Amino acid sequence: MDGRMMEFVMLLEKFLPWALVLLGAYLVLGRVSPELAPQKKWMLRSAGVLLIFAGIAGPWLGGKKAGVEWMPYKPGILEQAAAEGKPVILDFAAAWCEPCHDLDRYTYTHPQVVAALAPLNRIRADMTDMEKPENIELTLKYHIEGLPTLLFLDGGGNEIEGSRVMGFIGPLELVMHVKSLAAKAGASSQSGAAKPAQ
């Protein structure tokens, strides 16, 4: 799904419930032709009630999709991942950040994204309270300028050059980004192995 289609789906998901509620209210309140038979008016009002219910309950009945599972950031977790030599995706997010919720809703639930991020330690730094000492420290250490921000750290715990993502990214774009980082890491490890010891 390309960027424009993703934007369309996001808008549709946000505004369709409201459209259903408004159309249902229009039908329930009897804003239909007075020439209609009472039986047809009753059917239209019943349809209006169903539309209102669908608009209100639909988003909750859809359920939550399975997606990327995150470990919460805590002091020492990045050092532990580096000691294991495992690469990390570090997601900076906050409860008040709408694009962060869009990542959770659209990107992190995509099966290809779940598969692409599976080999990484997936760590989320909750930046909801920006005044927390550990959040201030993380912001300064990684030069976080806005949310959401995704950092990719190599097996040694260092940020991979050119890997940072700021703002919303669609699922397929994220998969391509992760694959390009993996290819770059594979190429650099092969060239490192080919270099003679000094």
Which pLDDT tens digit goes with each residue over 143-193? Answer: 999 999 999 999 899 999 999 999 999 999 999 999 998 887 655 554 444
**Residues 13 and 58: beta-carbon distance below 8 Å:** no
Domains of the chain are 3-61 (no CATH), 71-192 (3.40.30.10)
The verdict on whether omega for the bond into residue 148 sits within 30 degrees of 0, i.e. cis, is yes
Extract the residue ranges of the chain whose pLDDT is less than 70: 1-14, 30-34, 58-65, 185-198
Q: Show the DSSP H helices in 29-95 as ranges.
A: 38-61, 77-84
Q: Say what the pLDDT of residue 55 is.
A: 73
Rounded to whole angstroms, the Cα distance separating 123 from 164 reads: 15
Q: Say what the pLDDT of residue 133 is.
A: 92
Count of C-beta atoms within a 10 Å radius of residue 6 = 19
Q: Say what the pLDDT of residue 28 is.
A: 75
Question: What sign for the dihedral angle of Cα 187, 189, 191, 193?
Answer: negative
pTM for the predicted model, two decimal places: 0.67
